[in-house]
């Protein structure tokens, strides 16, 4: 899977590689529970001209799909965003008045989340401006509404209407109760039956049915797919993406030229076999310095796990930082052979594992403004088994997180023991980076399915369990002496720093990201809670992990790091079994028992302590911008700048990269 988000919400994790503009501000905007950062693209200026131009074209393609994600997240997102932007840019009243300020914050949250639902909790945002003021403002500044005024206002102000973008509550119809725009007029049972009828259990190369389409009923009540391709749904935006991909192809070298050709053909046809062909070519390319992701990739936003959101990244290799990932890749077979799982579920031959440290140059779609720190693709199990996978750790993003978090008081507030804080200060950044490397490079690529298992059996629990599997793999091996032997870590204190922060985050501090009274819904958060809570319960009698109260505050501490590593191994054994055998009921029980419910008293305490620190639990980014430098009709350079603030960039993107109709 592609996404590996930072496990620490706001922690200063130690040193990092030196980059430029040390004194420039890293935090450029703050609102609600969000801070917006900038990231730098070190060494872009030193790239060959051909690679700079390639990055420019791929970056334009990365920005052209922005409206697709807004529409995927909710049918009326574009109508609301465009209406609010029109008010915001034409408003002539008092911009310091409470209602306008509240509307501005609401609009910023929509930009950040790519819609009216929180990017992590999936709950609909609450408007803090009055309906009366908004209706009067609509009448004055918006001449032609994209949808009926009453509907527009009801969506914004009625908390029960389209309340959750992604509702994965056990026992509900997840399709009809989710506001995402992947389904319309169909039930969960109808979706399951529709795609079950397509699957050929004997196909050695199973197609990811439903990946690139909306499922709905036509005028006659027949269930049909609206495929996302040229000439189909989202065609206007896809046409622009293809335009820039063709420009990129014109300057690319082989094998990348053929890879881009395959992606363009997939966009033109919508044929999922073409998507597989593209993925096989892409994963086999380990020589290109510049690389990219572009397309309908991840299914975290679909309650059924079929549909994928549109996303893009553009990056190039950080060759100086690739030493550790090269060592991990070269030893992939050893890690697989020694994994604490049933030997029948280990891969006899690990193929095509590649891992790199990269510098991201552009973020788009579901990777922006909030972005992953690690990537592992492709997702299809049969491609991973036969051709391998690509894994990357995004160093300039983790560096920006680290710089923005320095001195915020997080460790002093939530980490009880001085020895833990000392280890984190010394080894936290290294532990985070290695955790991401192991998670992406080996964790997602490890293990294999039992004969007859297709990979879709775990349904809505698939993403949580897959992230847990990769995290457990990384956590288990972080505590292995093999990493010391390979020169990846100086001592197992690196593992101890990671174990302490992981358990603290999984059981406690990540609750800062959830609204009072809500359960845990997001897959990565569920994964971390599952692991921490399961290990706490299994090691409770021996006090492997312990709650401690000091000065009226609760802390979670790890007393026995070796025993905790053994528990990570035991849970990995079970999670791999569940995936390999497609054991839906066991997977459902594991997630529902350990990953969902929130202790309201602990939750309130965490929120109160965060509030006192003034720390926003969520971070995202603005992109740099690129400009072609031409002389006598020839491109002679590409300049990069970091001049945008958040509002300016969002308005610019809405003006220059908005290609879809308001309703699709």
pLDDT value for 277: 98
**1 has pLDDT over 60:** no
For the stretch 469-479, pLDDT in tens is 999 999 999 99
The answer to whether 338 and 417 have CB atoms below 8 angstroms apart is no
* Site of tokens 């030893």: 331
pLDDT value for 2: 42
Average pLDDT in the chain: 93
Dmax (CA) for the chain in angstroms is 76
Tokens standing for residue 433 = 């980076």
Please list, in sequence order, all residues whose beta carbon lies within 8 angstroms of the beta carbon of residue 12, skipping any fewer than 6 positions away: 402, 405, 406, 407, 408, 410, 411, 425, 428
Query: What are the helix and strand counts (H, E) for the chain?
Result: 24, 15
**Residue 606 domain-assigned (yes or no):** yes
For the stretch 433-458, pLDDT in tens is 899 889 988 998 899 999 999 888 99
Half-sphere exposure of 163 (CA within 13 A, CB side): 9
**Residue 201 domain-assigned (yes or no):** no
Could you tell me the residue range of the domain that residue 36 belongs to?
Answer: 27-43+318-621
Average pLDDT estimate for 522-551? 96
Q: Where does 466-558 show beta strands of DSSP type E?
A: 545-550, 553-558
Taking Cα atoms as reference points, which of 440, 397, 290 lies closest to residue 16?
397
**Residue 507 domain-assigned (yes or no):** yes
* Site of tokens 């700079």: 52
Average pLDDT estimate for 474-489? 97
For the stretch 325-359, pLDDT in tens is 889 989 999 999 999 999 999 999 998 777 788 99
**20 has pLDDT over 60:** no
**Residue 405 domain-assigned (yes or no):** yes
**16 has pLDDT over 60:** no
pLDDT value for 15: 36
**Residue 479 domain-assigned (yes or no):** yes
**529 has pLDDT over 70:** yes
**4 has pLDDT over 80:** no
Half-sphere exposure of 162 (CA within 13 A, CB side): 23
What phi and psi, each to the nearest 5 degrees, are found at residue 471?
Answer: -65, -45
* Confidence band for 21, pLDDT divided at 50, 70 and 90: very low
SS3 231: coil
pLDDT value for 10: 41
**138 has pLDDT over 50:** yes
**Residue 37 domain-assigned (yes or no):** yes
> How many domains does the chain divide into?
1
* Confidence band for 19, pLDDT divided at 50, 70 and 90: very low
**Residue 533 domain-assigned (yes or no):** yes
* Confidence band for 23, pLDDT divided at 50, 70 and 90: very low
The model's pTM is 0.83
CA pair distance 214, 281, nearest whole angstrom: 27
Average pLDDT estimate for 470-490? 97
**Residue 431 domain-assigned (yes or no):** yes
């Amino acid at each position: 899977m592609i996404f590996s988000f930072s496990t620490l919400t706001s922690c200063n994790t130690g040193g990092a590689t030196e980059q430029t503009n040390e004194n420039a501000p890293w935090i450029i905007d703050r609102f609600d529970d969000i801070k917006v950062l900038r990231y730098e693209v070190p060494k872009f200026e030193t790239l060959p001209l051909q690679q700079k131009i390639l990055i420019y074209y791929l970056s334009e393609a990365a920005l052209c799909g922005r409206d697709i994600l807004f529409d995927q997240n909710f049918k009326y997102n574009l109508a609301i965003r465009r209406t609010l932007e029109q008010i915001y840019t034409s408003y002539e009243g008092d911009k310091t008045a409470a209602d306008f300020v509240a509307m501005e914050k609401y609009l910023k949250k929509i930009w950040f989340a790519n819609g009216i639902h929180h990017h992590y909790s999936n709950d609909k945002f609450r408007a803090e401006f009055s309906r009366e003021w908004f209706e009067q403002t609509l009448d004055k500044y918006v001449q032609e509404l994209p949808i009926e005024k009453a509907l527009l206002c009801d969506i914004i102000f009625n908390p029960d209407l389209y309340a959750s973008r992604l509702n994965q509550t056990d026992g509900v119809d997840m399709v009809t109760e989710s506001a995402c725009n992947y389904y319309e007029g169909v039930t969960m049972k109808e979706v399951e039956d529709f795609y079950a009828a397509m699957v050929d259990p004997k196909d050695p190369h199973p197609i990811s049915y439903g990946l690139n389409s909306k499922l709905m009923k036509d005028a006659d009540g027949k269930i049909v797919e609206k495929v996302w391709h040229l000439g189909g749904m989202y065609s206007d935006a896809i046409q622009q993406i293809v335009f820039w991909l063709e420009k990129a192809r014109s300057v690319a070298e082989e094998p990348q030229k053929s890879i881009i050709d395959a992606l363009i053909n997939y966009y033109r046809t919508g044929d999922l076999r073409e998507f597989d062909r593209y993925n096989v070519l892409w994963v086999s390319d380990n020589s290109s310095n510049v690389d990219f992701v572009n397309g309908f990739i991840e299914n975290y936003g679909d309650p059924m796990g079929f549909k994928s959101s549109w996303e893009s990244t553009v990056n190039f290799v950080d060759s100086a930082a690739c030493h550790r990932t090269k060592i991990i890749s070269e030893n992939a077979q050893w890690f697989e052979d020694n994994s604490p799982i049933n030997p029948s579920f280990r891969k006899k031959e690990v193929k095509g594992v590649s891992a790199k440290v990269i510098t991201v140059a552009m973020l788009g779609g579901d990777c922006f403004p909030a972005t992953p720190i690690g990537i592992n693709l492709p997702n299809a199990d049969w491609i991973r088994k036969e051709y391998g996978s690509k894994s990357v750790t995004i160093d300039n993003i983790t560096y920006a997180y680290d710089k923005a978090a320095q001195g915020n008081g997080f460790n002093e507030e939530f980490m009880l023991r001085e020895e833990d804080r000392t280890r984190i200060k010394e080894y936290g950044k290294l532990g985070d980076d290695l955790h991401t490397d192991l998670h992406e490079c080996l964790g997602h690529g490890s293990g294999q399915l039992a004969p007859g298992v297709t990979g879709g059996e775990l349904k809505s629990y698939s993403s949580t369990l897959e992230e847990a599997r990769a995290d457990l793999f990384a956590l288990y091996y972080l505590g292995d002496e093999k990493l010391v032997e390979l020169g990846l870590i100086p001592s197992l204190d690196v593992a101890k720093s990671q174990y302490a922060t992981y358990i603290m985050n999984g059981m406690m501090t990540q609750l800062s990201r959830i609204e009072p009274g809500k359960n845990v819904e997001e897959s990565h958060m569920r994964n971390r809670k599952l692991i921490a809570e399961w290990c706490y319960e299994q090691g409770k009698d021996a006090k492997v992990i312990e709650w401690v109260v000091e000065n009226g505050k609760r802390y979670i501490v790890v007393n026995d790091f070796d025993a905790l590593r053994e528990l990570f191994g035991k849970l990995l054994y079970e999670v791999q079994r569940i995936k390999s055998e497609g054991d839906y009921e066991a997977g459902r029980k594991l997630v529902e028992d350990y990953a969902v419910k929130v202790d309201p008293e602990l939750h309130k305490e965490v929120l109160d302590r965060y509030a006192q620190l003034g720390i926003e639990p969520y971070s995202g980014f603005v992109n740099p911008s690129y400009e072609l430098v031409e002389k006598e009709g020839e491109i002679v350079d590409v300049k990069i700048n970091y001049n945008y603030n958040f509002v300016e960039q969002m308005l610019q993107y809405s003006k220059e990269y908005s290609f879809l109709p308001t309703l699709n």
